[in-house]
Structure 1
Amino acid sequence: MKISVIGCGYLGAVHAAAMAELGHEVVGIDVDTAKIESLSAGIPPFFEPGLPEILATAMASGRLRFSTDIADAAGATVHFVAVGTPQQYGGNAADLRFVDAAFEALAPHLTPGDVVVGKSTVPVGTAARLSETLASTAPGAILAWNPEFLREGFAVADTIKPDRLVYGVPDGEPGARATSALDRVYASAIEGGTPLVVTDYATAELVKVSANAFLATKISFINAMAEIAEVTGADVTALADAIGYDSRIGRRFLNAGVGFGGGCLPKDIRAFIARAEELGRGESVVFLKEVDQINLRRRQRVIDLLVELLGGQVNGKRIAVLGLAFKPHSDDVRDSPALDVAVQLRGLGAKVIATDPHAIANARRTHPQLTYADDANTALHDADAVVLVTEWPEYKALDPVQTAGRVRGQIIVDGRNSLDAAAWRSAGWTYRSLGRR
């Protein structure tokens, strides 16, 4: 099929390359000239495992190209809109300017029968509004909503072999045509047994935000238990193991630590709260406000532990911060707990030396005041204390004895509960983590 992808950020670039990998003819379009030049050269503008490989093969095949001209979308029969929906400045609601602009720019290049597919995460009710707009600006075009469920670090696999597909389509014959078109797009996944849910616009929109809200709630729940564990002497990791054996609960996402971040969960739950309040049902999701607050408290708890271990203040102390990305296998520093901890420690007067395998460039753009080290060994040199805040495999694999020879003070705060506490303590370290004895 001929496909256009409007918006070539994280979601759009991965989607465009994956669709070409599946055999479709794809054009990716974005207004950012530098981004398009990078992608056209086969260089992803962000770190995502597996993306360079499929981008290279798709470009070499001739099935994938990129452009800054929206007119190049003409001729495609399915158009995916994958632009960002950031949090509004000064508020919690989603900023839909980029979505609206994409639809406005695309409309003149649509022909009757074309299917426009929203993939951006939007407040419930957005698709219905855009469908009405499309009916007047591009008569005969059909709108569908196909939310994404990508995990950063696994986005390529999640696109090519998703764990489920959701189509939000209109009633009647237009909905049947949209469903048929999407079935052709995702033929390989459907043939492979991927579950498919065909539903209405509102449900499709809610699937995405409710999934993120549930995950955020599960993470904040175990972090709330960590707060209780710390004052009772309980071990939150053992607690998570025990309750995780219950099949109704499950062990995944029950890892206590410094909390969640990134470009999705924090802003999506805040936008969900804002939309529910607009609909007069704010009380239905009021618990998400506490989910957000618990998450933010864990960042402060890491700082408080470090201050405590350093005798009450960190001013002038050299602190090695291991990790800047909000999660491993990503260079995304949006709302990153790791970067937030580094910035706050510097604000307290610490001499912060921060490192990350892939996120230094992005962190430096937003916080040039920090000092960055290219590798962990450099960051650890003569450190008075160490904070692990992104659980990259190379940090989890650090040898406590060898690491002791690089630092000035054997103090470590494990903000991800990812290290072997007994091994570090036996090597002479003062080890603290979140919710563990």
Structure 2
Amino acid sequence: MKISVIGCGYLGAVHAAAMVELGHEVVGIDVDAKKIAQLALGLPPFFEPGLPEILTSAMATGRLRFSTDISEVAGSRVHFVAVGTPQKPGSYAADLTYVDAAVQALLPHLGEGDLVVGKSTVPVGTATRLAGIIAASGTGATLAWNPEFLREGFAVKDTISPDRLVYGVAAGEPGEHATALLNEIYAVALAADTPLVITDFATAELVKVAANAFLATKISFINAMAEIAEVTGADVTQLADAIGYDNRIGRRFLGAGVGFGGGCLPKDIRAFTARAEELGRGDSVAFLKEVDAINLRRRQRAINLTVSALGGSVYNAKVAVLGLSFKPHSDDVRDSPALDVAVQLHGLGANVVATDPQGIENSRARHPQLTYSTDLEETLREADAVVLVTEWPEFRHLDPAWVGGLVKNKIVIDGRNSFDAATWRAAGWTYYGLGRP
């Protein structure tokens, strides 16, 4: 099938290349000429494991191209809208400027039977509004909403072999037509018995934000338990292990630490709260404000531990910060707890030297005042304290004896509870975890 993907950022670029892997012909459209030029050369504009390989493979087939010209969508039967929905400045609400602009740009190029498919995470009610705009255009096109559930670091796998598919479609014949086209697009996944939920627009929109709200709540729950553990002497990692054996709860997302970040969870739970308040149901998700507050408090806790460990002041102390991206296997530093910790320590007068396998350039663009190093040994040498804030494998598996031979003071603040405390203490380190004795 001929497909267009509007928006070639993180979601769109992955989706475009993956659709070619599934056998389709795709044109990716974006207003950013620099990004399009990179993609046309087979070079992803961001780090995502597996994307360079499928992008190169897709380009080699001749069935993938990129353009800044929206008229290039002509001939495509299905148009995926995969643009960003950032948080509005000064507000919790989602900014739908890019979604609305994408749909308006598509309208002159739509024909009878075409399908516009929303992939972006939007406030509930957006799809119904956009469906009305498309219907009023007289093009004969219809709308469906097909939320994405990508995990950064695993986005290629999650697109080609999703754990579920959700179609939000209109009632009657338009919905049947949309379902048939989407089934053709996702034929490989459906043949592999991927669960499929066919529902209405509102439910499809809520699925994504509800999933993110639940995951954020689970992370903040264990971080709230860490706060209790810190004043009682309990060990939150053992607590998480114990309750995680209950299959109604599970161990995943019960890793206490500096909390969540990135381009999805923080802004999505805030946008969900804002939309619920617009609908007169703010009380229903009022708990999400505390989820957000707990999350931000854990960053401050890591900073406070560092200050305390250094005798009450970090002024002129060298602090080696391990990690900048919001999670491993990503270069995304949007709302990153790791970068936030580094910036705040710098603001307190510390000589921060930060390193990350992928996140340095994006961090430098946002916070050029920090000192960055691609050399782990240089980062650690003569450090007064080491702060782990992103659990990259190369950091988690550090040898405490080797690190101890480089630093000035054997003080480690484990912001992800990723180190074995007993091993580090046996190597002479003063170890601080979050929610651990």
CA offset at residue 378 of structure 1?
A: 1.3
Tell me if the contact between 1:302 and 1:415 (Cα under 8 Å) persists in the aligned partners: yes
The aligned counterpart of 1:172 is 172
Distance 2:407 2:239 in 1: 33
Q: The residue matched to 1:44 in structure 2 has which SS?
A: coil
Does 2:189 align with 1:189? yes
Deviations 1:244-279, CA, capped at 9 Å, x for gaps: 111111111000000000000000000000000000
| Alignment correspondent of 1:101 | 101
Partners of 1:276 and 1:112 in 2: how far apart? 35
Partners of 2:81 and 2:139 lie apart in 1 by: 18
Tell me which moved more, 73-82 or 132-141: 132-141
- Per-residue CA deviations over 1:158-214 (Å, capped at 9, x if unaligned) read 000000000000000000000000000000000001000000000000000000000
Shift of 1:139: 2.8
Confirm or deny: 8 A CA contact 1:110 1:138 kept in the other structure: no
CA deviation vs aligned residue, 1:349-392 (integer Å, no higher than 9, x gap):
00000000001000000000000001221110111100000000
For residue 138 of structure 1, report the CA deviation from its aligned partner.
4.5
Instruction: State the match for 1:78 in structure 2.
Output: 78
Q: Does 1:260 align with 2:296?
A: no
TM-superposed deviation, 1:101: 0.2
* CA spacing shift, 1:299–1:138, aligned 2, 3 Å: farther
Q: Deviations over 1:11-53 (max 9, x none)?
A: 0000000001111000000000000000000000000000000
Instruction: Count the aligned residue pairs.
Output: 437
Q: Give the conservation status (yes or no) of the 8 Å contact 1:257–1:298.
A: yes
Task: Check whether the contact 2:12–2:82 (CA below 8 A) recurs between aligned residues.
Answer: yes
**Whole-Å separation in 2 of the counterparts to 1:314 and 1:208:** 41
Asked if 1:413 is matched to 2:413, the reply is: yes
The residue that corresponds to 2:121 in the other structure is 121
Distance 1:63 1:231, change over 3 A: same
Partner residue in 2 for 1:282? 282
Give the aligned partner of residue 152 of structure 2: 152
CA distance in 1: counterparts of 2:173 and 2:134, whole angstroms: 17
Displaced runs of 4 or more, over 6 A = none
Partner of 1:359 in structure 2? 359
Give the aligned residue type for 2:431.
Answer: Y
Equivalences for residues 175-324 of structure 1 within 5 A: 175-324=175-324
SS in 2 for 1:413: strand
1-structure distance, mates of 2:51, 2:405: 38
Contact between 2:107 and 2:139, CA under 8 Å: does it hold in 1? Answer: no
3-state SS of paired residue (2:416): coil
Q: Alpha carbon RMSD of aligned pairs, Å?
A: 0.5
Deviation per residue, 1:300-320 (Å, 9 max, x gap): 000000111100000000000
Q: Matched residues in 2 for 1:340 and 1:8: separation?
A: 27
1:75-113: per-residue Cα shift (whole Å, max 9, x none)? 000100000000000100000000000000011000010
When normalised by structure 2's length, the TM-score is 1.00
| Structure 1 unaligned spans of 5+ | none
SS in 1 for 2:251: coil
CA drift of 1:136 comes to: 1.5
